Amino acid sequence: MADKSFNPFEMAQAQFDSVADMLDLEQGTRDLLRFNQREFHVSIPVRMDDGNVQVFRGFRVQHNDARGPAKGGIRFHPMETIDTVRALAMWMTWKCAVVDIPLGGAKGGVICDPHNLSQREQEGICRGWVRQLSKNLGPLNDVPAPDVMTNPQHMLWMLDEYEAVRGEKLPGFITGKPVGMGGSLGRTEATGYGVIFNVREALKELDIPPADTTASFQGFGNVAQYAIELYTQIWGKVICVSCWDQQDQTSYSFRKSGGIDLEELQGITDRFGGIDKDKAEGLGYEVLPGDAWIEQDVDILIPAALENQITGDNVGKISDKVKIIAEGANGPTAPEADKEIAKRDIFMLPDLLANAGGVTCSYFEQVQCNMNYFWEKDEVIGKLDTQITNAFEAVNEMRKSKDIYARDAAYVIAVGRVAEACRERGWV
């Protein structure tokens, strides 16, 4: 999925190398963790609606399963590449480790464009992917989930195929299923809420009452909307959000200095997180250029849209008032920008910690499926809060005790835990 000049796997390996140096990891552990443990390439023949057979290429990469079954989503994308899947699998290992859930990291992908495929053709790809990989997947070794352009319906087709191949009911095989079909309550909210559990703890650390703070968001999709819901409940005020405009093929920011009204904005937002700008203007929002979200005079910036959004070019636009950046998106901050943010002493809540609520709740879904007993939503959210708050505390403690940048602290904890599990198993 990457553009040709950018290799995400090389970036993931470079990040790992620098943490390995900090941890002074022995060569064998470095050689193991720099690469993925297993990688599968599959060809999936599908009979198309016009009667012809088209063959789709797919992948599953298991980076490391020393701490438990590998876990990670499957993406459908026309530009999917094996190096993107490799990088994402590695990042999943670190994310599961930093929040201390007993899972490893994996990722999958199929090169296809769902926009140009009928439901029946997509079902064929889902079932074919599972048929090719069923021996290597399962509740006890590798658990897929939805990701870019895959959804609960795709997960159900995959589950159905897996159970048909195995001849038994195994709902813990996959997460992100619809509620009522083995999905967990609270999953929709989990990532956004997890972002705000982190923000709440960071504000406590900085001794700032949430009610005295303002925030600006990039994005107004699943992560941003639930983060705004919880942030507003703890009395924070959001003054700006941004989104992609499909019609104009550009992004816009929407500002209301008195604070946005979440429900009002949701009422004029499509299912892709795009806000109707004429209606927004009618409701008194200032409609500004897409990157205006980053230059607002706020206490908290929450990039929750895409990767590579805070860069060397725009990091200088961040107001002196900003005290916290919480990465709802994966990889929104480029390495050059990171250096500047660290220098300015802004409290960074890095993606592997800030947006780990989603995978934590997926783990809860798997646990509930394996027990065949489902929890109330309050119980799910309560357990999520505990898990994320504990992870925040561990990262914050590491940050302070070693006097290092919070992203490095999160990586040191995550890589350290995985390396330890490999050592304890006698692998290295």
Catalytic site positions: 107
Q: From the CB of 249, what's the least distance to ligand NAD, in Å?
A: 10
CB nearer ligand NAD, residue 221 or residue 236 = 221
CB nearer ligand NAD, residue 46 or residue 196 = 196
Give the residues lining the site for ligand NAD (CB under 6 A).
191, 218-224, 242-244, 251, 273-274, 290, 304-306, 328-330, 355, 358
Query: In angstroms, what CA-CA distances link 385 with 194, 374, 389?
Result: 7, 18, 6
Is residue 59 within 8 A of residue 129, CB to CB? The reply is no
CB nearer ligand NAD, residue 210 or residue 358 = 358
Is residue 180 within 8 A of residue 365, CB to CB? The reply is no
CB nearer ligand NAD, residue 224 or residue 322 = 224
Cα dihedral sign, 324-329-331-336: negative
Whose tokens are 């914050």? That residue is: 396
Is residue 374 within 8 A of residue 88, CB to CB? The reply is no
Cα 194 to Cα 210: distance, rounded to the nearest angstrom: 16
Nearest residue (beta carbon) to ligand NAD: 221
Question: What is residue 181's three-state secondary structure?
Answer: coil
Q: From the CB of 246, what's the least distance to ligand NAD, in Å?
A: 8
Measured at the CA of 302, the angle between CA 297 and CA 305, to 5 degrees, comes to: 125
CB nearer ligand NAD, residue 184 or residue 251 = 251
Q: How many Cα neighbours within 13 Å face the side chain of 208? A: 19
Task: Beginning with the edge strand found earlier in the chain, give each strand of the sheet holding 142-146 in spatial order.
Answer: 38-47, 53-64, 104-111, 70-77, 142-146
Residue type, 123: E
Kind of pairing, strands 324-326 and 347-349? Answer: parallel
Cα 295 to Cα 27: distance, rounded to the nearest angstrom: 44
CB nearer ligand NAD, residue 242 or residue 368 = 242
- Among 102, 96, 44, smallest CA distance to 72 is for 96
Q: From the CB of 425, what's the least distance to ligand NAD, in Å?
A: 28
Strands of 178-290, DSSP E: 214-218, 237-245, 250-255, 286-289
Question: What is residue 255's three-state secondary structure?
Answer: strand
Cα 253 to Cα 286: distance, rounded to the nearest angstrom: 8
CB nearer ligand NAD, residue 294 or residue 324 = 294
CA 312 from centre of chain: 23
Q: From the CB of 270, what's the least distance to ligand NAD, in Å?
A: 9
Is residue 340 within 8 A of residue 311, CB to CB? The reply is no
